[in-house]
Amino acid sequence: MDRNKITKWLKEPAKMANKYSLHAIYFCTGCGIIEIPPVITARWDAERFGVIPAATPRQANLFLITGYVSVKTLRAIIRTYEQMPEPKYTVGFGSCPINGGMYWDSYNTIKHLDKYIPIDGWIAGCMPRPEAIFIAVTHLWTLIDKEMANGYIRYRKNYESYRRNQELALGKLEWPPLYKASEEPQGNEQ
Amino acid sequence: MSLEILLITAFGGALFTYFAGKASYKYRNFLAVAISSALVPFVACLYGKTEEETFYYGFLGLNLVLRLNMLSWFFAITIAVVGALSIIFSLSYIKGREKTDFYFLMMLLVNAAMLGIVLAGDLISFYIFWEIMSWSAFLLISYNRGPALAAGMKYIIMSIIGSVSFLVGMLSLYVSFDTLNISQIAPVISLSSSGYILFILTVFCIAFGIKNAVLPFHTWLPDAHSEAPSPFSAVLSGILVRMGMYGFLLIFYVILGLKSFLGLGRSLYSFHYILAWIGAINIVIPTFIAMLQNDAKRLLAWHGVGQGGYMVLGVALGTKLAVTGGTFHIVNHTSYIALLFLVVGAVEYRTGGIRDLNSLGGLIKKMPVTFVGALVGACGLIGVPLTNGFVSKWLIYKSLILEGHPFLAFAALIGTWGTILSLYKFLHNVFLGQLPEKYKDIQKSPFTMQLPMIVLSLVILVFGILPGIPLKVINAIVTSFGFESLNITLWGITSETGTLNTINIFSAVLVAAVLSWLLFRLGAKSASVSQEDSYAAGAHIPKDKYHYTAEFYNPLYRMIKPFLRDIIDEFYYWIASLVRSLAGSVRHIYNGDVGYYVMYIILFLAALVFIQMKWKVW
Amino acid sequence: MNKSLKEKIESTFKDLKVAIPEESRIAVTAENHSVLAILRFLKDAGFNHLALISAVDWIEDGFFELCFILTSYMQNNVEYTDSQRLHIILKTLIPREKPQCKTAIGIFPNAEPYEREIHELFGIKFEGHPRLTPLLLEREYEIPPFRKDFDTRKYVEDVFGNIPSVENNK
Amino acid sequence: MVAKIIQLILSPIIALVVGVFFLGLARKFMARIHWRYGPPIIQPVIDMIRLFYQKSVSHGRMFDLGIVLSLAGSIVVVLFLPLGGTAPLSGSGGMLVILYIMLLAPLGMAISGGQGANPNISIGISRKLILALGYEVPLLLILLAVMTHYKTISIVQVVNAQQSTTWSIISLPLFLSGLSYFLILPAILGIRPFDVSTAPQEISSGLMVEYGGKYLAMVTIEHAFVLFISIALFVNLFLGGAANPVTFLVKMLMVFMLGLCINAVFPRLRIKQAIKYLWKWPTLLAFLGLIVSLVIRS
C-alpha cells in the first residue's frame, strides 16, 4: 500500500492512479455476486482501497467475473469487456471460469474463460470470501506495478484468435470486430 | 421620392417575376432573388433620413403620405433581410411543387406590403397595405391544400375581425380630426377626453393584438404556422406577426405620445399595466403548451406566441429600459424564430415532409450545418448569454426588477425555463439520439438553404456579443418617443444601477472554453464509435428502437397537462358551432323552394293589411 | 372430501386411474387423447391454477411422461376441509419416437412457456402452440439435452474441446 | 488592473481546489456515516488522474464540444461570484447574468449527452431538465425577493449591504427566502435525495452512461464547480459573504456539511415526488418571502 509515497506518484502517476482507483463494473455474471455487497458496505469497505462499483463499462477499469459463465452470459461479458476503455483488468472468481469447475461436463457453461477474454487474476474458493477479494485487489496492484497485468494488450495482440474462439463458442456475433485486422497494435503503453 | 421608387420596385418586381415565371423558372428564380436582395441595400442607404412625401393626391379627398423615421427604417431593414433570406431559402424548397410562380408572386407581394405598412405615413395607406399583407398571407398559408385550408380560413377570419376593428378606429379618428395623417393627428389627439383615447386604444389593440397573437386572440397562429410552407412560416412568424408590434409602438408612442399613454388610469389599473400583465401571462402559458407538441412547427409556433409576450410586456411597461428591451426583442425574435423555421424546412425538405418529432432523430451526423443553425437559434430563443435574446431579456428584467414588479419578472423568467425544456426536446428529438434506418443516406441541406441559416446565425451571435450596433438604432427610436436616452456602448449599457458588458462575458467564455479544451486534449485520445456501440447492459442494440422521444417530459406532462388545455381555442370553436347550428335552423326557412318564398310574401302582405285595418298606423 | 372428488372424476371419465398417494394429493393417469377434456373438467371444478408442466424420460420402456400439476386458489367451491392445499397431478404417456401432444394454451394460457421449454429440452412437439421458438438455450442441439440418450460429456468434448487456447503467439 | 487579472486567474483555481476538496470530503463524510473508513480525502484527485490516462470513447464532435462548453460555462460563473472581497467580473451584469450563465453548463452537457445516442442518457437529461424547472420556481422567487429587498441587481451591492447591516438570513423578510433556498440546495447540487438525473441503479448513471476516461474527469470537475457555485451563491446572498476569503470558505464548509447531512440519510426520490416537494414547501416559503419584502419595500 504505497499510496502516499509522493516520489512514486511523481515518477509514474499513471500506474499509481490505476492502482488506487479501480472502479469495478457492477455486472452480476454468475453466482459469486452475492459476495460483492458485503465487500462494498460497512464491514469490509472496499472504498478504502479506491474500489467502488461503476454503473457502466465506460466508467470502469476492473471487471469481476463472479462464478460460472453460462453460454448466454458469455455474449454479454464479451460485449461489456469490449466496451470498457483501454487499461482494463479482469479477475475471475472461483474455479468455474478457470476450467468449468463442478460444471465441467455441462453442455451450457463455458469451460476455459481465458480462451474468450483475457483474465488477469484468479481467486480460489467456491465463492471467495471478501478477504479473498481484497487479496486479489492487492495482487492486482503488484501485477500493475510489474506491468504484468497486460490482459488488454494480449487481447489487442491476439484479437483474431480470441474472436475466432468467440465465434466458435457462440456462433455468429452481432457486433463488428473491435480491432480491424489491418490496425497493428500501437505498442505496449501502460 | 426615394420611398416611392422603393415601393414601386417592390410591387412591380413581384408582378414582373410572375410573368417571367411563365417564360422559364430560371429567370423567375434569378429575378426573385435579385429584387428581394436589391431591396436590402436600397433600404439600408435610407438610414438616418426622416422624410415625408405624399405619393397620391385626392384618394377620397385625402392624400396618401409615405413617411420614414428611425422606427420605420428599423422595421423596414428587418423585413427586407428576412424577405430576401426566405426567398433564397425557398429556391430549392419549392422546386418539386406545382404553382411555384404563384408562390413567388405571393412571397414578394407579402414583403412589399409589409414595407408599405412600415413606410405608411397615414392610416389609409397603412390600412391598404395591411389588407394586401393579410390576403397574400392567407393565400400562402393555404398553399399546401389539405388541412392548410382550414388553417388559412381560421387566419383570415380573425384577420378580417382585426381589419374591421382597425377600420372602425380609423373612421372615428377621421370623424373627430378629419385628417388621417399620423404626424397631424399626434399633437391633437392627446387633448381629447381620456374615454375617447381609451376607445381608440382598445379598438387598435384588438386589431394589432390579433396580428401579434396576444393571448386571447392567439389561436390562429399555431395552425397557420404549422400548415404554411416553411420559408413563408419563417417570414410569417418572424416579421409578419410583428407588424402588430409595430402597430402597438405606433399607437402608444407615436400617435398617442408618452405622457397620455402612461397617464391612462391610476397606477394599478392603468391601461399599460394591465397590458403588461397580459404580456406576462402571454409568456408563460404558450411556452408550456409548446412543450407538449409533437409537431416541430407547432412547437415553434407556440414559441412565437410566447415570445410575443416579452415584446408586449417590454413595450407596455413604459420605462426607457423596458421599451428598448421590447423593441430590441422584436428584431431578436425575428432572427432566431426565422432561423428555427428554416431549419425545420431544411429537415422537412431532406426527409420528405416529415416533421413529427417522434419519428426523427440523429440527423446531426447527416446535416451538421443545419444542426449548428438550430443550436444557435435555440440558444437565442432561450436567451443564453452571447446571443441577442439574452441582451433584450436582460433589459426587460432589469427594468421590471428596479421598477418593483417582481411578479411580472417571475412570469417572464419562468417562461425562459419553459423555453429551455421545449427547445431541448426539439433539438434532441430531431438532431440527437439514434439515426433511424431510413435516413441513413440523406445528404446535407443544399447551399441555398445553408446560406440563410448561416447569415441568421451570424446575426444572432454578432448582435449578442456586440449589442451596441442595434442598440444605437433603438436608442434613437426610444429617444424619438420622448424617453431620455441610455448611454450605449458598443458592448452593452453602462449605468450606475447595473451595467451590461457582453465583451467581458464573451472573452471570459472564450478563455474558459480554450482552457477546458486544452484540459480535454490533455487526456488520452478517444476512439470514435458508431451509434450501435452504445451501452445496453451487454445486449445487442435493436435497430430503430433505441431512441427515447415519445412524451419526452412524461412526469411533468402528467402533472401540468390539465392546466394546459387551450380553453380559448375551444371557446372559439364553441362559438363556431353555435353559429353553424344557427345557420342550420335558418336553412329550414330558406330551403331554396320558390313556393315557400311566394307564400312568405303573401303572408307578409296579409299581415300588413291586417295591421292597417286594425290600428290604422298610416 | 378428496374422496368425493375422486368419485366425481371416476364417474365422469371412464378410462383413467385415480389414486390418493397421500393426504390432499390426487394422482390421475389418463390417455393422451383425453388430457384436454380432463383439464377442462378440473378447471371448472375450481382448479384454476396450472402450477407446472414437466416431463419425465422413461428411456427403458420408450415413453415420455407429461405431468400437469394443478392447484386451486378458491377454498369455498371445492369442499375440502384440511388446511393443506389440494394438489392434482395429471399424468399421461407419450411414445418416444414421434412425441406429440395438443397444447393446453386454450385452457391455461400460462402453459405457453412451459410447453416451449419442454419442446426445447425434450423435443416434444405441441400442436397449436403459437411460437415454439427456443427459450433458454443459446445453441442448437440435434438431440435435445434433457433426453437420457444425450451424452453430455461427448457433446462438451466435441464442442468446447477443440477450441484452441490463445497462446501469446506474437 | 493587475489585481483584477490576479483575481481573474485565482478565483477559478480556488473554486476548483475547494470544489474537489468538497467532493473528497463528501465521500469521507458519507463513509463515516455508513460506519466505514472511506477513501482518503484526495480520492477524487486520484480518480481524475486515472481517468485522464484512460482511453475513452467519443460519439461525434458535438459529444466532445458539449462537455467543453459545459465546463467553460461553470468556470465563467465562478468569475461572476464575489469570493470574500474579490469579485473579478461582477461589474458586467449582476445576478441576472449569473442566473443565465448557469444555463450554459446543463445545456452543454445535455447536447453532448444527446449525441451519445442512448435512451438512458435521454431519460437522464429529461429528468435533469424537469428537476431544473422544479427548483427554478422557488429559486427565482428567492432571487427576486433578494433583489427587490436590496433594490439592486448587482450581487456586490447585496454583499456590501449585508456587510453594513446584519446577514440577510437574519433580517425579517429574507429569512423565509433563506430557509427555502436551503430546502432546495440538495436539488441544485444534484445530491442524494434529488440525484434522479444521475441515478446509477435506475438509469445506469443517466447522463454519464457513455462518458469514459477524460469525459468523466471533465464531468467530475464540472460537478465540483457546480458544488462551489451553488454554495457560494447561498453564502453571498444570505450569509453576508465575508470580507476575506478564509471566513468565506469557512461559511461555505458549514453550509456544505449541513447539506451533506440531508444527503446522507435520504433515499432517492422519484422525479414526480421531487417536483411535488419542490413546488410545495420551498415555493410557499419563497412566495411569502417575496410578498413580505414587497410590503416592506413599498
**What percent of chain D has a predicted confidence (pLDDT) above 70?**
98
Chain-chain contact of C166 with A115 (C-beta, under 8 angstroms) = yes
Determine the pLDDT at residue D44: 93
Cell 405431468 belongs to residue: C67
Taking contacts as CB-CB distances below 8 angstroms, the residues of chain D near B513 are 68-69, 72
Instruction: Tell me whether residues A58 and B535 touch, CB distance under 8 A.
Output: yes
Report d(CA D93, CA B509) in Å as an integer.
Answer: 14
Looking at the fold, whether B436 and B361 belong to one and the same domain comes out as yes
Identity of the residue in A106, A112, A165 whose CB atom sits nearest the CB atom of C152: A106
Classify each residue of D92-111 as buried b or exposed e, where b means 16 or more C-beta atoms within 10 Å of its C-beta.
bbbbbbbbbbbbbbbbbbbb
Looking at the complex, report in whole angstroms how far the Cα of residue D253 sits from the nearest Cα belonging to chain B.
26
pLDDT higher than 50, residue B368: yes
State the pLDDT at residue B578.
Answer: 92
Domain parsing of chain C, residue ranges = 2-160
Q: Which residues of A touch C152 (CB under 8 A)?
A: 105-107
Please name the residue of chain C whose CA is at the shortest distance from the CA of residue A112: C165
Which pLDDT belongs to residue A185?
47
Distance CA B287, CA B285 (A): 5
Q: Distance of alpha carbon B434 from its chain centroid, rounded?
A: 33
Q: In this structure, what C-alpha cell is assigned to residue B289? A: 403548451
Q: Which positions in chain D touch A86 (Cβ < 8 Å)?
A: 54-55
- From the list C1, C14, C8, C66, the residue with the least C-alpha distance to C41 is C8
The answer to whether the Cβ–Cβ distance between D52 and B524 falls below 8 Å is yes
- Which residues of chain A carry a pLDDT beneath 70? 181-190
- Given an 8 Å threshold on Cβ–Cβ distance, is B534 in contact with D52? no
Taking residue B525's Cβ as centre, other Cβ atoms within 10 Å add up to: 11
Contact of chains C and A by CB distance (3 or more pairs under 8 angstroms): yes
- Please judge whether A161 and C166 are an interchain contact, meaning their C-beta atoms are less than 8 angstroms apart: yes
Examine the domain organization and report whether B249 and B345 are in the same domain.
no
Instruction: Say if B528 falls within a structural domain.
Output: no
Quote the crossing angle between the two packed helices D271-278 and D119-150, to the nearest 10°. 10
Query: In Å, how far is A79's CA from the nearest CA of chain B?
Result: 5
Domains of chain A: 6-170 (3.40.50.12280)
Tell whether the model's pLDDT for residue B170 goes beyond 80: yes
DSSP letter string over C5-23? HHHHHHHH-SS-EEE--ST
User: Of B398, B407, B531, which is closest to D117 when you measure between CB atoms?
Assistant: B531
β-pairing, A52-54 vs A23-25, is parallel
Q: Residue A188: what pLDDT?
A: 40
Chain A nearest CA to B524, separation (Å): 10
Tens digit of pLDDT for each residue in D44-69?
999 999 999 998 888 888 999 999 99
The confidence band for C35, taking pLDDT boundaries of 50, 70 and 90, is confident
pLDDT at D179 over 50: yes
What distance lies between CA B547 and its chain's CA centroid? 33
Residues of D in contact with B515 (CB under 8 A): 72, 75
If contacts are CB pairs under 8 Å, which of residues 123-152 in chain D contact chain B? 123, 125-127, 129-130, 132-133, 136-137, 140-141, 144-145, 147-148, 151-152
Q: Is B278 a domain residue?
A: yes
Distance between A16 CA and the closest CA of chain D, angstroms: 8
How many Cα atoms occupy the beta-carbon half-sphere of B152 within 13 Å? 18
Q: Is the pLDDT of residue C132 over 60?
A: yes
How confident is the model at residue B218, as a pLDDT?
A: 86
Q: From the list C156, C166, C168, which residue is nearest A165 (CB)?
A: C166
Answer whether residue B543 is part of any domain: no
At C68, is the secondary structure helix, strand, or coil?
strand
- pLDDT of C74 reads 66
Asked whether residue B561 is assigned to any structural domain, the reply reads: no
Q: What pLDDT, on a 0 to 100 scale, did the predictor assign at position C45? A: 79
Do B537 and A76 lie within an 8 Å CB cutoff? yes
Q: Which of D20, D46, D208 to mutate to test the interface with A (most CBs of A within 10 A)?
A: D46
B548: its cell numbers: 427515447
CA of B467, closest CA in chain D: separation in Å? 14
Name subunits touching D (3+ CB pairs < 8 A): A, B
C-alpha cell at A40: 462494498
Question: In angstroms, rounded to a whole number, what is the distance separating the alpha carbons of residues B143 and B102?
Answer: 9
Is D275 close to B371, i.e. CB distance below 8 A? no
Residue C77 has pLDDT above 60, yes or no: no
Q: Are residues B343 and B208 in the same domain?
A: no
Chain A partners within 8 Å of B532 (Cβ): 175
Fold (topology level) of C2-160: Beta Polymerase; domain 2 (3.30.460)
Q: With bands split at pLDDT 50, 70 and 90, how would you rate the model's confidence at D88?
A: confident
Scanning C119-158 for CB atoms below 8 A from A yields: 136-139, 141, 145, 150, 152-153, 155-156
Mutation site, A69, A79, A80, interface B, largest B CB count within 10 A: A79
If one counts the domains in chain B, the total is 3
Cell numbers 330551403 correspond to B591
Do B527 and D57 meet the contact criterion of CB atoms below 8 Å apart?
A: yes
| Interchain contact, B364 vs D62, CB within 8 Å | yes
A124: which 3 cell numbers?
Answer: 480460489
C-alpha to C-alpha distance for D149 and D293, rounded to whole angstroms: 5
At B177, is the pLDDT very low, low, confident or very high (cuts 50, 70, 90)? confident
Q: How confident is the model at residue C1 (pLDDT cuts 50, 70, 90)?
A: low
As a whole number of angstroms, the distance between CA B483 and CA B321 comes to 9
H/E run at residue B472: helix B468-481
User: What is the overall mean pLDDT for chain B?
Assistant: 88
d(CA C145, CA A161): 29
Q: Are residues B188 and B330 in the same domain?
A: no
Grid cell, residue A152, equals 488488454
| Whether the predicted pLDDT of B79 surpasses 80 | yes
Question: By the 8 A CB rule, do D105 and D222 touch?
Answer: yes
pLDDT tens profile B52-78: 888 788 777 778 888 888 889 999 999
Q: Are residues B190 and B209 in the same domain?
A: yes
Q: Is D254 on the interface with A (CB under 8 A)?
A: no
Q: Is the same domain home to B320 and B357?
A: yes
Does the beta carbon of B506 lie under 8 angstroms from any beta carbon of chain D?
no
Q: For residues B118 and B115, what is the distance between their CA atoms, to the nearest angstrom?
A: 5
Nearest to C163 among A104, A105, A165 (CB): A165
Which chain A residue shows the shortest CA-CA distance from D203?
A: A55
Neighbours of D264 (CB within 10 A): 16
Nearest residue to A61 via CA among A102, A132, A120: A120
Judge if B304 and B357 occupy the same domain: yes
Chain A residues within an 8 Å CB radius of C159 = 107, 169
Assign residue B228 a region: left if phi > 0, alpha if psi is -120 to 50, beta otherwise? beta
The CA distance from A51 to the nearest CA of chain D, in Å, is 9
| pLDDT tens digits, B333-364 | 999 999 999 999 999 998 888 888 888 888 88
What single letter denotes the amino acid at residue B319? T
Q: Is B543 part of the contact surface with chain A (CB cutoff 8 Å)?
A: no
Determine the Cα angle at D290 with ends D288 and D291, to 5°. 65
Residue C41 has what pLDDT? 86
Task: Kindly report the backbone phi and psi dihedral angles of residue C75, in degrees, each rounded to the nearest multiple of 5, phi listed first.
Answer: -85, -35
Which residue, B514, B530, B551, sits at the end of a domain? B514
D84 vs B39 pLDDT, higher one? B39
Same structural domain, B237 and B287: no
The pLDDT value recorded for residue B193 is: 83
Per-residue pLDDT at C169 = 52
Residue of A nearest to C141 (CA): A107
Asked whether A17 and A23 are in contact (CB, 8 A), the reply is: no
Give the pairing type, strands C125-127 and D56-58: unpaired
Q: Does D27 touch chain A (CB under 8 A)?
A: yes
**What is the reported pTM?**
0.89
Query: Which of A175, A178, A180, A183 to probe the B interface (max B CBs under 10 A)?
Result: A175
Of C136, C152, C169, the CB nearest to A105: C152
Which pLDDT score, from 0 to 100, does residue A183 have?
Answer: 53
Q: What is the spatial distance between Cα D284 and Cα B553, in angstroms, rounded to a whole number?
A: 24
Say yes or no for a CB contact (<8 Å) between A115 and C170. Answer: no
Domain with B232, as residue range(s), is 1-264
Residues with Cβ within 8 Å of C135's Cβ and at least 6 positions away in sequence, in order, are C113, C116, C117, C120
Residues in C touching A168 (Cβ below 8 Å): 163
89-108 of A, contacting B, C-beta below 8 A: none
